[in-house]
């Protein structure tokens, strides 16, 4: 079964056989959730609806969601870890629960292809369930459903929170136990007893049962609305269905690897095969991030920092393979071609993707030259001291300051009989990583997921801000992202130049006038066509379903949105712009607060 066929089969099964409505993939750049840099799971765009806000398409949903996770970048290069991936998922928003969710999963996995399923061998499937702890009891309910479907006791493992619990999208919010499905990828008959530590058991799907709400105090309270959130790893499942060792051997990656091998001759040993996987994984990820309609290019902050890191890591490994020409755009073109039919934004933003890659590769080539020059300055001092090792902190400075690859430092050092103190280098690198993680955690704490009163106020204020910007600057203004905490709002928008002091003062004045006017905030459900006809702000592409929620603030603001809002602008308080600055070419950013 091809990747394209799997996507369609999954959506068709849940739409035609289980009564779900399809929702198209949300942006990789979270529009209203500052708790994460990227959309890391299908649940992120649905948090308001998991908290009981009605979804325009009803209580049963299905999608194929684009996701990016950056926690395991250093692990990429094996057969399992991916930076960008697609997640096939189905949701119940207060409708069916454990029994139906598990039965749907079982039917899709094992029903014959002629009946819309995958036709997997039942004798090669194993299950894990939550073992329970002081926060929540053992999930015997899920296990009993599996047993009734024919899964024997020895094929069911009970595991702890680390394995079988899905936390909230941020620090607080919906969460609960999950049950996971594994498929035997080894030769011959699967073992009678399921061993979760055996890597031949490949996890392909999990059903999350959102029974609890994690509070700011760390308590787990029962949710009024119980939800189901499932996720099937698309790439892993494609590999399983095709009998491949990993997804890198499937049509999702193989064409890019073929182009890569045509750019240089290198030995296909374990080290170089790992470099191949890192390159194609990272360049696929940045192709999707930059190709998103809210996409960001390489920079030194936030999502852009991750984009730059991924690109440069790919370039470094390309250099190690002996590739001497610019190649990142050539690999990206393969992914744009292969995914463009499914994700039209890649074709729509093709030129931006390729241009940014070429610029970044040219820029990094210069840093490599500077790094080599600095290395040549350092080398005589090391030899003069008759050292046989390049100090780890010196090597790390070359890496961090000049972007000089550690592999290249080691290679040049060997020419002069020098090793690198990798232990100290690794220690310095780990310190740097920990500082980066702590910075990211602090920067992206709090957000819409907690639905606090202050966040609701700031979220509503962004609607007024966008409307005022369009009034002052023109109709070319569109939101390019937002980051809202309980302390302040951050709003990114399309505009080619720095705003004047007079323009900022006028925008602030207009917003405060609308607040003092006490405008009612109301919501209406309608078709995207009707919303467009009424002049509602929104990106009218395929991401909308048959119905959307439009929030009206008096007659001043009309915007397609999901999430919490106040009932009247009089609740907001005084609006104050703190700063206006550039984010990227053609993108500006405003930071603002509201106070009593």
**DSSP per-residue codes, 341-355:** TT-HHHHHTHHHHHH
pLDDT band per the 50, 70, 90 thresholds, residue 455:
confident
- Which of 174-178, 495-499, 583-587 shows the lowest mean pLDDT across its residues? 583-587
Read off the tokens for 254.
């193989």
Split at pLDDT 50, 70, 90, the class of 446 is: very low
pLDDT in tens, 222-275: 988 899 999 999 999 999 999 999 999 999 999 999 999 999 999 999 999 999
Over 80: is that where the pLDDT of 65 sits? yes
Give the whole-angstrom CA distance, residue 174 versus residue 167: 7
Q: Mean pLDDT throughout 42-50?
A: 82
Distance CA 280, CA 261 (A): 11
pLDDT at 582: 86
pLDDT on residue 398: 81
Report which listed range, 82-91, 413-422, 560-569, is most confident. 82-91
pLDDT of residue 305: 82
pLDDT at 338: 96
Average pLDDT over residues 437-449: 41
Taking the alpha carbons of 27, 180, 58, 567 in that order, is the dihedral positive or negative? negative
pLDDT reported for residue 544: 53
Residue 306 has pLDDT above 60, yes or no: yes
Q: What CATH number matches the domain at 3-249, 3.40.190.10, 3.10.290.10, 3.40.50.720, 3.30.930.10? A: 3.30.930.10
Q: Of 191-200, 316-325, 427-436, 537-546, which gets the smallest average pLDDT?
A: 537-546
Least confident of 95-109, 151-165, 481-495: 481-495
Please report the beta strands in 467-556, taking only residues with DSSP state E, as ranges in sequence order: 479-484, 489-494, 521-526, 548-553
- Would you list the domain boundaries of the chain? 3-249, 262-442, 452-595
Is the pLDDT at 440 greater than 50, yes or no? no
**Average pLDDT of 395-399?**
82
State how far the Cα of 535 lies from the Cα of 92, in Å rounded to an integer.
32
Q: Which residues of 521-555 are buried (b: 16+ CB within 10 A; e: fewer)?
A: beeeebebeebbeeebbbeeeebbbebbbbbbbbe
Per-residue pLDDT, averaged over 435-440, amounts to 46
User: Is the pLDDT at 562 greater than 80, yes or no?
Assistant: no
3-state secondary structure at position 408: helix
Of all residues in the chain, what percent carry a pLDDT higher than 70? 93
Which of the listed CATH numbers 3.10.20.440, 3.90.78.10, 3.60.70.12, 3.30.980.10 matches domain 452-595? 3.30.980.10
Q: Order of strands across the sheet with 479-484?
A: 479-484, 489-494, 587-595, 574-584
* Residues contacting residue 127 through CB under 8 Å, at least 6 positions apart: 143, 146, 151, 155, 156, 157, 179, 180, 181, 182, 194
Section 295-322 average pLDDT:
86
How far is it, in rounded angstroms, from Cα 588 to Cα 484? 16
Residue of 47, 15, 22 whose CA lies nearest to 229: 47
- pLDDT confidence of residue 303: 87
């Amino acid at each position: 079964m091809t990747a394209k066929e799997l996507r369609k089969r999954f959506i068709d099964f849940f739409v035609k056989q289980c009564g779900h409505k399809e929702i198209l993939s949300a942006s990789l750049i979270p529009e209203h959730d500052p708790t994460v840099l990227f959309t890391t799971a299908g649940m992120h765009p649905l948090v308001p609806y998991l908290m009981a806000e009605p979804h325009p398409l009803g209580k049963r949903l299905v999608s194929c969601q684009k996701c990016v996770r950056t926690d395991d970048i250093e692990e990429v290069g094996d057969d399992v870890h991916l930076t960008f991936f697609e997640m096939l998922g189905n949701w119940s928003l207060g409708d069916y629960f454990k029994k139906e969710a598990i039965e749907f999963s079982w039917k899709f996995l094992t029903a014959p292809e002629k009946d819309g399923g995958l036709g997997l061998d039942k004798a090669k499937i194993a299950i894990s369930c939550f073992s329970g702890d002081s926060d929540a009891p053992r999930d015997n309910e899920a296990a009993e459903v599996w047993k009734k479907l024919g899964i024997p006791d020895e094929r069911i493992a009970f595991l702890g929170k680390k394995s079988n619990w899905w936390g909230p999208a941020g620090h607080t919010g919906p969460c609960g136990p999950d049950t996971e499905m594994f498929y035997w990828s080894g030769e011959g008959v699967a073992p009678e007893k399921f061993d979760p530590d055996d890597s031949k058991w490949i996890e392909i799907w999990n059903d999350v049962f959102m029974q609890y709400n994690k509070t700011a105090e760390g308590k787990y309270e029962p949710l009024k609305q119980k939800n189901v959130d499932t996720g099937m790893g698309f790439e892993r499942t494609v590999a399983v269905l095709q009998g491949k060792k990993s997804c890198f051997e499937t049509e999702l990656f193989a064409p890019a690897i073929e182009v890569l091998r045509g750019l240089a001759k290198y030995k296909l040993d374990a080290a170089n095969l790992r470099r191949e996987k890192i390159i194609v994984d990272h360049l696929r990820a940045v192709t999707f991030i930059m190709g998103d309609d809210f996409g960001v290019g390489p920079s030194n902050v936030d999502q852009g920092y991750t984009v730059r890191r991924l690109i440069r890591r790919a370039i470094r490994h390309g250099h190690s393979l002996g590739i001497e020409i610019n190649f990142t755009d050539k690999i990206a073109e393969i992914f744009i071609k292969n995914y463009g039919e499914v994700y039209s934004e890649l074709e729509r933003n093709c030129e931006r993707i390729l241009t940014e890659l070429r610029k970044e590769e040219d820029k990094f080539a210069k840093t490599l030259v500077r790094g080599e020059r600095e290395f040549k300055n350092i080398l005589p001092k090391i030899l003069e001291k008759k050292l046989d090792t390049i100090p780890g902190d010196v090597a790390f400075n070359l890496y961090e300051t000049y972007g000089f690859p550690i592999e290249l430092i080691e290679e040049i050092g060997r020419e002069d009989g020098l090793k690198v103190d990798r232990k100290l280098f690794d220690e310095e690198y780990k310190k740097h990583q920990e500082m980066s993680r702590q910075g990211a955690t602090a920067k992206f704490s709090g957000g819409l997921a907690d639905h606090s009163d202050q966040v609701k106020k700031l979220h509503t204020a962004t609607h007024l801000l966008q409307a005022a910007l369009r009034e002052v600057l023109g109709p070319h203004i569109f939101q390019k992202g937002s980051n809202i905490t309980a302390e302040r709002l951050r709003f990114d928008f399309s505009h080619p130049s720095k705003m004047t002091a007079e323009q900022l003062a006028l925008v602030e004045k207009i917003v405060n006038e609308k607040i003092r006017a006490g405008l009612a905030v109301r919501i209406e459900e309608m078709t995207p066509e009707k919303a467009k006809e009424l002049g509602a702000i929104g990106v009218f592409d395929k991401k909308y379903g048959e119905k959307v929620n439009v929030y009206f603030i008096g007659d001043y603001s009309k915007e397609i949105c999901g999430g919490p809002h106040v009932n009247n602008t009089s609740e907001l308080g005084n609006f104050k712009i703190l700063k206006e600055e550039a984010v990227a070419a053609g993108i500006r950013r405003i930071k603002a607060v509201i106070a009593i």
